[in-house]
Structure 1
């Protein structure tokens, strides 16, 4: 009764204090954005000034396309961008007929243009709302959390949010487990995912662990409960568990400056270096951006200290604690600092491997979980797969997956359904092993769940953990993504229920969100949305692949191939060797390679796109205005220039 009363009071407070659009739709404004309104237009501008979101309320439109055309006419009458793709979104939060219109931009613009159109299912059902996003890519990445929170929080007037607070959770009986397995199996089939490892937990006990499909396409060996997959960024939660053990042991403090604990830690910004405490290494809240290309193009055989070398050159791009920005290298440093404190005198990579085995994997009974890739390849393991340029699922090379090893506390762990479930049981047991033995003190176990930064509406990031309270209950989780491997772990701390999923194909990422939703529907009799979410995701994935292929020219025309130098070098990312093999143009990087296709951009420039399974879509723009042959590679906030190397 008390929980129901609190939920009702919170709902009433939200309703009383919510901002509204001209049509009365409620929303939470994006933090730090400046708001302005004129008539039926409501505009939010980012602090940087190069990103805006405009909400246009319309009394009526013939359809989604007409609503978008009306909105652009009001906001920018001269808007004439080429529509790249219009894709549907499932009905949700009181909105129906949802679609997203993405527009073509050239890579040199570093710009995203998008329209999101929704029709209200409340009132007379004729009103539409259009959200027009015009944003510099760098700002969009930095401010993605507040923008996403705003998009999610915008709800039609009179709509009541779904809540599971106060409901009795139904156990995962064999019948309900079969329902969830069938849901995953159907998604696998439609997406072409070769194999999935799964485990289900109910009443703090594993009720099923096993596999669906095969470890490798074209081979009969099935996935089972002991098949190892890369769990990628789920390593982060394991690393924060090791940090908690170090704090328990008095070797570290959560509020201890990182540079005090480990003098080799430093960033390019001295003030930020001083501000970073142990907890901040794993909070995604320091303003350090997602600068992944620096390690993706690096040597996977390099020593762990290279993580600290790379961080020493990097600067934050937002204020400390301001927004969610995900840095793999910061977490890598966090794990190595914990290891150095627990195993002084050892090389930090070896210390981390040893500490994780002795203090986490061993006590938890995670018998096969490891960072030893060679050992994995000799045993029961899945292989990675990705989308080929023709739309089929193909085996992907493992080469790029080795590049995370020097920063392995952020994403290099291999685990199985059996082992993965034992880690989730530890979380459900508040730091105790599945058998109830103390592992992490409850205070330091709980510290990892405390909000460090906002990720979305009613979603926060703790220390390597996502905590979601949008349905009035707590859902803890984390995902993991490496080439050809995508995973998730989900648990309901108040109810002793959990799920883990490990997949061996890039399309497997589309199973994760719908599975979490399906779990909540099965357990709490929620609104039936998961099936439609998965159906729409699959259709959109196929449409995106088709559009990607449509813009490519294969084989690369002779003139475009001739315009390339034989070799290029970047001071940050290494070398590119250009070669033709059996009529195919390939880019050979220092530690991995891919065939490339040509893409003609809107501004007349040309790009070379990687197309091998798992690495498709990495874009190199040829800069014909440079003094020397140059290829430009960008992520949202950084630019790397590969300049031709003269033959020796």
Structure 2
């Protein structure tokens, strides 16, 4: 085995945000537009006949039954091992490690299965118990066809995996057994969404809701320019009887992004901006890290997820809510890309926030940035599109017919949760702060499908600038790309344009099938709603193209997987936290960039507050002897802080994939 394969113990990463690879649901050279086909990904085949795609610039090394794909500088390694026969997925993974790194010894944390897919009769993900301070990302995925197993192992720094998540997804999604032909609906005549077929989609949503304990779903379906169904299933709030309706407001989170780029498109129509114009010509106050990076940033770079700027959500989640819109620009001025422009997909909310505020400033230059943006969206997007119950006003939205957020508590029960956390997005609301309804989202999807026309034939935006938003910039996986606030992919041989949204207790997506003239909107009021979104697209394809029913199998497997993940997480935690650990904590810790972490007693429980995150804490003993504080309030978004010490001062350390925030105790 070459030495380069065996010396990849990169100690730089935090605990993975996802439990298994199956759940992977993201300035040197500056490019204004990366043209289609510019990425030279390379197809390959393992010695066992399994096909894969190597990302551009990755090295491929083979020896015997092992193929290793190495990112530049070996910062991240993906090993593909043709194991052959094995008694179980666990045995197959052990055999793969023996080929890749016989000295590796990572304790298995969890083993979960997904439904059969892409020619594989079994798919099993393995996550490992890695101490947070090791800052290492390690996962395995075991795939079986017949009696033969192939295992994919990923190892590297979490920072590297954060930068290269799209490349890892490309490799994973491209793995197929020898002789398998991909399912494709290309060339089939789409079926109209008749009442019978609409019923099939509604039945799927209802069955998925029941399996996942999702309280309510807003649904809209569009076909041939007409809204063929809009309304709701389930309730707005657990314990109440108020039904979800076509006019129920949900937070749509990052679905806002496509609407922001629609605002920019209207301004491009007016000549107020050009997509390839330097941002500083449009908004001279803009700064991004160094002068070189600032001067090279074009308007399209703000919304293409291709600048190399890393995701930095903790930068606004951990600070006290209520900052003005200018906070977006302050944070960007302190942030540098971690990869070259146009090289990698890195999703960044701050850049889109800046894009929206710049759009507002162009439309209403004499107003405060936030107010200008809100008014620009109302007058140039929402009102012209007929989206009269959409907007950014929390106080107005949280009255009358609105869906409350829900999530699972530490014991696995779905409960209503506070909407306070989601108000952290207000400062950066162009990135994901909009409220909307099934009816309004249906109007938006109509506009996208019609090339910029409302159903009444009124033009809101030119077709040229609407379509410019779908130009493929960077790849996000196999047959998928990011445009400007929109994902573009080829799914089962069919073009799909989409985007999703995630906030605490709200998960949603819209889908366009441009060739069929069909669109769909799914809004949910629960974290668990995330699990039904991709299966819904599959079910939509099955209904439109008479595909083999597979979507519900994905839901069934996900229910089992989530239950195992919840049990595994609960088993690692001491709830309530270890009294000896909690009693030794300081009352307050400080970080110069983000502010304070406060520890206090609430009705006999120890609570932690850090910006928008607040709730009771548990403790976890890590394998390296350290102890973590873990918030255990209901909902999928929380905080882990590792207890430590620097220069004799107690600390709490919080990390995401590419950033570290060290809080020092206040004496």
Query: Is 1:137 aligned to residue 158 of structure 2?
Result: yes
Find the counterpart in structure 2 of residue 577 from structure 1.
598
- SS of the residue 1:320 aligns to: coil
What is the match of residue 115 of structure 1?
A: 140
- How far 1:212 sits from its partner (Å)? 1.1
Most deviating of 588-597 and 97-106: 588-597
| Cross-structure match for 1:75 | 100
Output the CA distance in 1 between the equivalents of 2:560 and 2:224. Answer: 36
CA contact (8 A) 2:321 2:611 kept: no
Task: Number of aligned residue pairs: give it.
Answer: 627
Aligned 1:269-288 pairs, distance under 5 A? 269-288=290-309
- Offset from partner CA, 1:280-327 (integer Å, 9 cap, x none): 100000000100001112344221111101111111111111100000
**Separation in 2, partners of 1:451, 1:97:** 33
| Residue 328 (str. 1) matches residue 349 (str. 2) | yes
Q: Name the CA shift for 1:602/1:511 in 2 (closer, same or farther; >3 Å).
A: same
Report the equivalent of 1:13. Answer: none
User: Superposed, which structure 2 residues align to 1:332-351 within 5 Å?
Assistant: 332-351=353-372
- 1:474·1:493 contact (CA, 8 Å) conserved in 2? yes
1:179 and 2:200 are equivalent in the alignment: yes
Instruction: Give the secondary-structure state (helix, strand or coil) at the position aligned to 2:382.
Output: helix
User: SS at the partner of 2:630?
Assistant: strand
The alpha-carbon distance between structure 1 residues 626 and 216, as it changes in their structure 2 partners (threshold 3 A), is farther
Q: Which residue of 2 aligns with 1:106?
A: 131
Q: Are the equivalent residues in 1 in contact too, given 2:80–2:151 (CA < 8 A)?
A: yes
- 1:24 counterpart = 2:49: yes
Alpha-carbon offset, residue 615 of structure 1: 5.2
Q: Does 1:443 align with 2:468?
A: no
For residues 315 and 571 of structure 1, what CA distance do their matches in structure 2 show? 18
Classify 1:166/1:639 alpha carbon distance in 2 versus 1 (closer, same or farther; 3 Å): same
- Deviation string for 1:555-614 (max 9, x for gaps)? 212211122101111112211211122221101234441111011111110000011112
- Kindly provide the CA deviation profile for residues 84-104 of structure 1, in whole angstroms up to 9, marking residues without a partner as x: 001012111111111011111
TM-score by length of 1: 0.95
Instruction: Find the aligned partners of 2:324 and 2:652 in 1 and give their Cα distance.
Output: 29
Provide the C-alpha distance between the structure 2 equivalents of 1:104 and 1:318, rounded to a whole number of angstroms.
29
Equivalent residue for 2:494, pick from 453, 473, 492: 473
Q: Is the 8 A contact 2:578 2:618 kept in 1?
A: no
Which of 276, 294, 302 is residue 315 of structure 2 equivalent to? 294
Give 5+ residue unaligned stretches, structure 2.
Answer: 1-41
Pair 1:360–1:586, CA change in 2 (3 A): same
Q: 1:419 aligns with which of 440, 457, 481?
A: 440
Cα pair 1:569 1:576 within 8 Å, conserved? yes
Q: 1:322 to 1:339 in 2, by over 3 A?
A: same
| Aligned equivalent of 1:499 | 520
Structure 1 unmatched ranges of 5 or more: 1-16
| RMSD of aligned Cα (Å) | 1.4
> In the alignment, does 2:252 pair up with 1:231?
yes
Which of the numbers 390, 400, 425 marks the counterpart of 1:379? 400
Q: Is the 8 A contact 1:429 1:436 kept in 2?
A: no
Q: Which residue number in structure 1 is paired with residue 235 of structure 2?
A: 214
Q: CA deviation at 1:523?
A: 0.6
How far the C-alpha of 1:105 sits from its partner, in A, is: 0.1
Instruction: Give the secondary structure class of the aligned counterpart of 1:268.
Output: coil
Whether the aligned pair in 2 keeps the contact of 1:608 and 1:621 (CA below 8 Å) is yes
Relative to the length of structure 2, the TM-score reads 0.92
What displacement does 1:240 show?
Answer: 0.3
| Partner deviation per Cα, 1:5-48 (whole Å, 9 max, x = no partner) | xxxxxxxxxxxx83211112222102222111111110011224
Aligned to 2:529: 508
Partner of 1:618: 639
State the distance in 2 between where 1:179 and 1:453 align.
35
